[in-house]
Amino acid sequence: MSTNERLVLEPVTRAAGRLRLPGSKSISNRVLLIAALAQGATELTGLLDSDDTRVMLAALRQMGVRIDDIGRDHVRVHGANPFPNRSGDLFLGNAGTAFRPLTAALAVMGGDFRLSGVPRMHERPIGDLVDALLGAGAHIRYLGNKGYPPLAIGHGAFSGSRPIRVKGSVSSQFLTALLMAAPLHADTGNEVVIEVDGELISQPYILITLKLMERFGVVVQRQDWRRFVVPAGSRYVSPGRLEIEGDASSASYFMALGAIGGGPVHIEGAGADSMQGDMAFADVVEAMGAAVVRHPHAIEVSGAQVARGDRLKAFDLDFNLIPDAAMTAAAMALYADGPCALRNIGSWRVKETDRIHAMHTELEKLGAKVESGPDWLIVHPVRPGEWRSASIATYDDHRIAMCFSLAAFGPATVTIEDPDCVAKTFPDYFSVFKGLVQA
């Protein structure tokens, strides 16, 4: 039974079939902004249609960028640098992939902007990015609590004459934002150097940024993960057309379906040739006992049938590089043959919700023993006879909702509260899920 408020999932025993992934959120929002800043028009195909991309599209249009709708996942973006409208109040929901890069781009351009979002966005830290921009001469004010949105951006004297320093330990989106905005200053004939203080988390997401910038003609010189140089004279130039690959983070749920529901589950849209680091989740499900077949633009997973008593292999892994897909591993731990440890996941604390707290709380509802700390989570699988029916709170977090769909392979009923929160990245998730599973 399904309503807007909840979705009841009865126990299922098997999963098999084929699906095509929606477009990558990480790529979609990055490439929308870069295309809007590029010389020429860019046709984008495979664009994700979700809450996060809609707020980016709305913001760019509000800035005067012309964007033609050609088809369901197909747009043409006419570049405009600087944006025609140099003032505005932008509402960006809970989309970090829109809020952080737009903050940097508008700060470099200068103008009169106010950026805000939903209450949770105003609890997500942005101080490290703002500090880096202020240090380079940008003019930014906090409109609420220091270190957090909402923000006001004004006319500053942005300068790349000395290295811009940013902390890398909270979110890789801060470095991504600075990198994407840097060509706006380098275009004036100035080299831009960005240096990272401390450990840089989620490094594969920076590689996505660098590869997309290169597709638009900007080649960043990288020295390890500490120093990035955007050469003087760099500017974005449209490649004409770009196809957006499927979302690798979303692929993790279907890899898990193949691993715990027998499979084969054939996932189209992202594979061995993907630029997305989350495709490394295939190595995780393989280590847990699944059979994985990798194709350039697809992947196929087969595995155990946990509903008949099969068990996955337990793991103890560092998930710093793939924090979003790691949540799927936490749900798979329900079916493991021993405790599963997820380490170096401190970034979960500042995502759409405090994901360590949320996963700890909701996994326990199902009968699992769970331990957690500042940047780690240990999940003990549910013992036979100890599964409990549960109503899973989703905290307005799309990934919580999708992860806990995997609990349907247990013997108890699982109710997903607010299932529509998946609209942030995958509006059709539950209909695709139901098309692959069997009761």
Q: pLDDT tens string for the chain (439 positions)?
A: 344 689 999 999 999 999 999 999 999 999 999 999 999 999 999 999 999 999 999 999 999 999 999 988 999 999 999 999 999 999 999 999 999 999 999 999 999 999 999 999 999 999 999 999 999 999 999 999 999 999 999 988 788 779 999 999 999 999 999 999 999 998 778 899 999 999 999 999 999 999 999 999 999 999 999 999 999 999 999 999 999 999 999 999 999 999 999 999 999 999 999 999 999 999 999 999 999 999 999 999 999 899 889 999 999 999 999 999 999 999 999 999 999 999 999 999 999 999 999 999 999 999 999 999 999 999 999 998 999 999 999 999 999 999 999 999 999 999 999 999 999 999 999 999 999 999 8
Class of domain 6-22+246-438: alpha beta
Q: Is 324 a catalytic residue?
A: yes
- Asked if 248 contacts 228 with a C-beta cutoff of 8 angstroms, the reply is no
Q: What are the helix (H) ranges across 296-396? A: 323-332, 355-365
Closest CA to 358 of 423, 336, 345: 345
Residue 108, CA distances (Å) to 81, 159, 186 in order: 11, 9, 11
Q: Which residues contact 355 (CB under 8 A, 6 or more apart)?
A: 327, 345, 348, 349, 397, 399, 400
Closest CA to 27 of 52, 59, 63, 2: 52
pTM of structure: 0.93
Token pair, residue 348, equals: 């979960």
- The identity of residue 215, as a single letter, is R
Q: Where do the CATH 3.65.10.10 domains begin and end in the chain?
A: 6-22+246-438, 25-228
- Write the Ramachandran bin of 403: left for phi over 0, alpha for psi from -120 to 50, otherwise beta: alpha
Q: Is the domain 25-228 a CATH 3.65.10.10 member?
A: yes
Among the options 324, 397, 418, 420, which is catalytic? 324
